[in-house]
Structures are given as structure tokens and as C-alpha cells.
Amino acid sequence: MNLTLVGSTGHTGRYVLAEALRRGHRVTAFTRNAAALEARPHAVVEGDGRDLEKMRTAVADADVVISIINGGDSRDPHRAAEATRTVMRAMTETGARRLIVTTPYPIVARRPVLVLWLLRRLLATQYADARDLERAVSAADLDWTIVRLTRLTDRPATGAVVIRRELLGMPHALTRADVATTLLDIAQEGHLSRVAVNVNGR
């Protein structure tokens, strides 16, 4: 599978890149900092995710694009949504169809109430950007999947992952290694098209 990974040097992207290469996929890594790559993908495109020309180069010939972009902050509040719109435009122009994006589960969660209230105050800009990203993706004429993730850790993979379309009960932590496996399984199996799913540890 030809896979383009946007956000390949982020905390989660590093795990996805390593697992994709382990599975034998041909990976093009898009990153703002190529020097930070810990693995050796087949191709590297370095730049800002809003650079359309570079994004076209990155997604050309991709069977699947996996995009892992953190929500914005006070200095760059619309980073994730703007970059994702660039990804989608580049895909449309180059003929790529399959897109998988990640967002934080708390943007839709209802419990635990107090924790969510605190998170939404502390991460208001990031969550607003993630919601905008989801709106853009869900309106796109692509074969997309939105994967919402619960609290992430760097612990070893457990293999215990719950994927649901409905809201989760009490969310549990999720390892980044398990996220990598989940995203690549979704990419390879070709299911969960044009839906948002919530992913939880056990």
C-alpha cells in the first residue's frame, strides 16, 4: 500500500510510521522537520501542511492518506483545520481518495463532566480547531474516516482497543502503539467509510 503520513514526526505519528514500515507499506512522510524522523520512510516531503504544492507532491499516488495534526494554539489557532483543507484539496487535485484523520474524543464526549469542563476551558482553541477540521472532512467528497482518540500514553501496546460509532462510557487511556495499529487496520481493511468513530482503551 502506498501511504502518505501527515504529521509523521509527532508523538503519535512516530508510532504510525514505524508500524507502517514494519508492515511493509511504502510510506511518504510529510513533516515540518525531516531531521526529527526516527525511521526511514521511502520518501520525505518537508514543509508546512498548508503548502499546497508540497502537499500535492506528498499525496500523489497515495492509496491512503493518514493525517495526524494537533489542534491550534494561541499563536496559530486554525492550524489543523487549515492544513487538513490543504490535504483534501491536494487529494482532489491528484486523484487520491482515502483519507483518515484523527481528532480528540473530548470534543464530543459527555463524561466525566468535571474533567471535560476543565479540558474544554484549558484546550478551547485546540478543540475549536478540531471541530472545524471535522466539519471540513465530513463535507468532503472523499472516502474519509474520522478517528477520535481518548487520552494517549506511550506505554506498550495492549491490543485492547474499543472502536464505536456511539459515544463511549467512561473513557480509558489508549496507547499510541495501539492507535498506530488501529489506524493502519482501518486503512488496510477499507471499512468505516464516511463515518466518525470513537476509539478507547480497555
Q: What is the 3-state secondary structure (H, E, C) of the chain?
A: CEEEEECCCCHHHHHHHHHHHHCCCEEEEEECCHHHCCCCCCEEEECCCCCHHHHHHHHCCCCEEEECCCCCCCCCCCHHHHHHHHHHHHHHHHCCCEEEEEEEHHHCCCCCHHHHHHHHHHCHHHHHHHHHHHHHHHCCCCEEEEEEECCEECCCCCCCEEEECCCCCCCCCEEHHHHHHHHHHHHHHCCCCCEEEEEEEC
- Tell me, what's the pLDDT at 163? 96
Q: Which residues of the chain have pLDDT under 50?
A: none
Q: Is the Cβ–Cβ distance between 43 and 28 less than 8 Å?
A: yes
- Tell me, what's the pLDDT at 16? 98
- Tell me, what's the pLDDT at 13? 98
Name the CA radius of gyration of the chain, rounded.
16
Kindly state the percentage of the chain with pLDDT values over 70: 100
| Number of domains within the chain | 1
Domain CATH for 169: 3.40.50.720
Domain interval for residue 21: 2-201
